[in-house]
Amino acid sequence: MQDFENSICPVCHGKLFADDDIAVCPDCGTPHHRNCYRLLGQCANSARHGSFTWQPPALKEEKAIPPSPPPGFHLTQNDRVGHVCPQCGRPSTSDVIFCPYCGHSFSADVRGSGGTPFPPVPQMPPFPGGFVHIVPPDPYGGVDPGLELDGVPVPEVARFVAANTRRYIPLFSRMFGQAQKETPQEGEPAKADVDGQKPAKHRKTGRNWAALLIPGYWFFFRKCYKEGILFTIASLISMALFSPFLAAVNESLVKIVQTNAPDMSAQMWDALTDTLFKSAPFTVAGLIAGAVLWLGTRIVAALLADYIYGKRVFSRLRVIREEAEDGAERENRIRAEGGVSLFIPLLAMMAVNFALGLLGLI
């Protein structure tokens, strides 16, 4: 293996040491820190490929005697060693930025108390004009874009989801099966052939906090209109079941407020308990049924919303792939049927408020 020690990483401009995890470009041979190479996503010299071959830097003659520390610097037994220089091996205090013996910069190799290293923070080379190059996050959440999910290419699923693909692509991979190759190579066995077993069942539940709080609006936001209507109706029914009890409580509280009694808080609590235990049986039954329905629909939505949404995504994509053979027509349908809707949840919110007004609940 070629020795890259004392070479410079072209991404973070830090020295490469013998114990570093080094990634070498297969085209030009440029060595990088592996984390730097992954963060950049390509070789730092990719623009020069075809006419450039990396050459190791010329070795400088090492000085027989390291330079002396600056005047006034000394390390006593009471000082805690904050840096151990990787270049000359000498210890120094934790308040220095450069090694006082050889001048090595600790900014690329920060070490905490006791010599425990922190991971290096690679810096991206600036673009012309002074703008810093920021690597965008992986839109597929770590899933290989060359694979398929439930028979649909991963990039096509991501274009249909449009918003928050970093969450949904890995989630769909767990719910609907691991990503499979689009075109398996000839003679390559399938996963079931390799394992000799049936594919394991995949988890269909998730944790969707938005669907827990506002289930109907979340389904409308993701264009699952049937489910949005069902959960919205369930919420309205639960509120209607609450209404007799809430009306009785409100009537008692209004009377207490009008009396302006000094112990108003205690009277309000007594009014609440009296209404609960002295109301008609159907009022209490409506309160319990409404509470169960209200809480149950939200728990179901929180657990199954992602799976329901995934079923819609893959069913619509399969229909689009069957009906639209032309690439442009397929992309237009994906943009039209996929993505999210901001107008429909607002319209549903106004409709719910209107319905509550008719029921006298607001």
| pLDDT tens-place values along the chain, 362 residues long | 466 777 888 888 778 887 788 888 888 888 888 888 888 888 888 888 878 888 877 654 444 444 455 455 454 444 444 567 777 777 766 566 666 666 666 655 443 434 444 444 444 555 455 444 455 678 888 888 888 888 889 999 999 999 999 999 999 988 887 555 544 555 554 444 333 444 445 778 889 999 999 999 999 999 999 999 999 999 999 888 888 877 777 777 777 777 776 777 777 777 777 777 777 777 778 888 989 999 999 999 999 999 999 999 999 999 999 998 778 888 899 999 999 999 999 999 998 888 877 766 55
- Residue type for position 188: E
Report yes or no: 266 and 293 within 8 Å, Cβ to Cβ.
Answer: no
Work out the angle at residue 206's Cα, subtended by the Cα atoms of residues 203 and 208, and round it to the nearest 5 degrees: 165
Question: What is the C-alpha to C-alpha distance for residues 19 and 160, in angstroms, rounded to an integer?
Answer: 44
Task: Please state, as a whole number, how many other Cβ atoms lie within 10 Å of the Cβ of residue 338.
Answer: 22
- Put simply, whether the predicted model's pTM sits higher than 0.85 gets the answer no
Phi first, then psi: give them for residue 222, nearest 5 degrees. -95, 15
Alpha helices in the chain (DSSP H): 34-40, 154-161, 165-176, 191-195, 209-213, 215-221, 225-259, 264-278, 281-323, 327-337, 343-359
